[in-house]
Chain A
Amino acid sequence: MQAGGGGDAGDTRGRHRIQAELKKLEQEARFLEEELEELDKTDKVSAALQELMVTAESKADPLLPVTTGPACQSWDRWFEGPQDLRRCKC
């Protein structure tokens, strides 16, 4: 049937759509309530930041000018041997 057709059919379609949306909203409300409860037991932002800082500073990073070791020789492979001007032969 075409959209905007018979009155009853249109009514039914409207009812189903609203019911589906309502169900979705009710579920979302439940999820939000769960999150709110969880948040009551959640630490402040500062509690997570020490761990973040330790993580970012404890791993050797070849792109940093100052980094923790161990250094790996293969980091510098990009500057060894023939480079850039080699053209593809395929």
Chain B
Amino acid sequence: MASVAELKEKHAAATASVNSLRERLRQRRQMLLDTDVERYSRTQGRTPVSFNPTDLVCCRTLQGHSGKVYSLDWTPEKNWIVSASQDGRLIVWNALTSQKTHAIKLHCPWVMTCAFAPNGQSVACGGLDSACSIFNLNSQADRDGNIPVSRILTGHKGYVSSCQYVPDQETRLITSSGDQTCVLWDVTTGQRISIFGGEFPSGHTADVLSLSINSSISNMFVSGSCDATVRLWDIRIASRAVRTYHGHEGDINSVKFFPDGQRFGTGSDDGTCRLFDVRTGHQLQVYSREPDRNDNELPTVTSIAFSISGRLLFAGYSNGDCYVWDTLLAEVVLNLGNLQNSHEGRISCLGLSSDGSALCTGSWDKNLKIWAFSGHRKIV
């Protein structure tokens, strides 16, 4: 048996080898970066999207939470939204009428994330209790008007930071966690089907904060972590990540697939959003804001979402800004944070309606707002 000293020597050699390989990879990748999205679009004669001041307006304010809003999700079919708040409640809204249809008081008030099931009949939430709770919206409410929890998914060893149902599958849900893993669950039985990361190599090495499931190939998902990487996973193969994407220099707070499923966007504590190519692993674009003279620190990106074509990238920042980036020209074409009726606090979550006609923003000011296009739309 090798002595501890020999093992330490081998360990040092292996570390050096891994570092050298990483550096070679970085250099090789750098050589393939012959352009970026912005430069390419400009050479193709593209100009930035131009908004009039009243084109994108706040058309609804959803009031009802008594604490910061942390998370929101739309139903795939209807105009319903579920929101999760510091007040320890989930609220289900009819976004069209601004009315609340359900208010669910949680056993553990420290909720961080929520999601609608694809059929719109159930909602899921998770947080500091390290569990994911499922509520059937058709369940009979008790005497106090509370809907009983229908299933609790337990097994994570850290907080549940994000949850999302697999598209078109009411029984499958994926969670990300502070325990450095993601888990695929069978909601019906409450069983863990697969664990992504953890003991396996190529898993995240710090808390996982966000995930996004590919809507075109629903067996692929990406996860963003405090280890500053994004990892691509195949739901059928939990033993290793398909690919790791480097580039960010801080925690990755938000990750979202581009509408075509071939790329994904990220938002980070390093103050940037980035666009990555899934297949090649290339970083296609960095969306960096200009340094603000009034800011001592660069605002962090809290949440991102793409418009339905992918041409617009919405990004919420810790200072209350909500930039609308032209994805192709890498230019900020609007700041929803400066518009009339905007939020009075940090925008913590963002989401597009399934037909792409409305953006919902949730904020630390306790409100959610619906934004839609009210200008003259030119169809070409």
Contacts and interface: CB of A to CB of B under 8 A. Distances in A.
Contact of B380 (A21, A28, A67): A67
Contact of A18 (B11, B34, B372): B11
**Chain A: interface secondary structure?**
helix
Contact of A71 (B49, B59, B280, B377): B377
Contacts of A43: 32, 280
Nearest to B101: A90
A48 to B, nearest CB: 5
Given A51-B262, A65-B50, A32 B4 contact: no
B68 to A, nearest CB: 19
B219 to A, nearest CB: 20
A79 B99 contact: no
A15 B7 contact: yes
A55 interface: yes
A72 interface: yes
Contacts of B281: 35, 39, 42
A53 to B, nearest CB: 6
A3 interface: no
Given A18-B4, A52-B263, A39 B202 contact: no
Interface stretch (B13-21, B113-121, B169-177, B295-303): B13-21
A26 B34 CA distance: 32
Q: Which of A56, A71, A79 has the largest number of chain B CB atoms within 10 A?
A: A56
A64 B284 contact: no
Contacts of B327: 56
Interface string A58-90: 111111111111111011111100111011111
B21 A32 contact: yes
Interface in A9-38: 11, 14-15, 18-19, 21-29, 31-33, 35-36
A22 B380 contact: no
Given A56-B328, A79-B59, A28 B201 contact: yes
B168 interface: no
B77 interface: no
B358 to A, nearest CB: 6
6 contacts: A27-B201, A49-B41, A63-B372, A64-B307, A64-B312, A65-B375
Q: Which 7 A-B pairs have the closest CB atoms?
A: A61-B309, A25-B14, A32-B21, A78-B372, A59-B309, A27-B201, A62-B357
Interface of A: 11, 14-15, 18-19, 21-29, 31-33, 35-36, 39-40, 42-46, 48-49, 51-53, 55-72, 74-79, 82-84, 86-90
